[in-house]
Amino acid sequence: MKKKAIAVLLCVLALTVLGGFTVGGSGLREYYAGLLERGIITEAEYEKLEAYGFELPESGKKPLDDFSIGEISTANEDVVER
């Protein structure tokens, strides 16, 4: 009986500690605010992230609407088509 009580107490303690780490989602807000302050993301991108609750949607591989990913450019613009 004593071993079961200790095991249950340890499980509850472990779940409490893990729950504390997952509840603090405000870290994402500060992270993206820092990116905005450094000019890495634009105000429009920040607002879009804010609309999503600072979490990418399930389709994280797809860009958000109007979210600038970057441009692909060629090194040599004088390429002749064959």
Tokens of 35: 């990116």
Inside any domain, residue 42:
yes
d(CA 14, CA 22): 13
Q: Which residue has the higher pLDDT, 15 or 70?
A: 15
Inside any domain, residue 29:
yes
pLDDT of 32 > 60? The answer is: yes
Inside any domain, residue 65:
no
**Domain extent at residue 29:** 24-56
The b-or-e profile of 26-39 (16+ CB within 10 A means b, else e) is eeeeeebeeebeee
**What is the percent of the chain with per-residue pLDDT over 90, rounded to a whole number?**
2
Inside any domain, residue 63:
no
Q: Residue 4 has what pLDDT?
A: 82
Please tell me the total count of domains within the chain.
Answer: 1
**In the predicted model, what is the mean pLDDT of the chain?**
69
Inside any domain, residue 8:
no
Highest mean pLDDT among 13-22, 24-33, 46-55, 61-70: 46-55
Q: Which residue has the higher pLDDT, 31 or 66?
A: 31
Inside any domain, residue 32:
yes
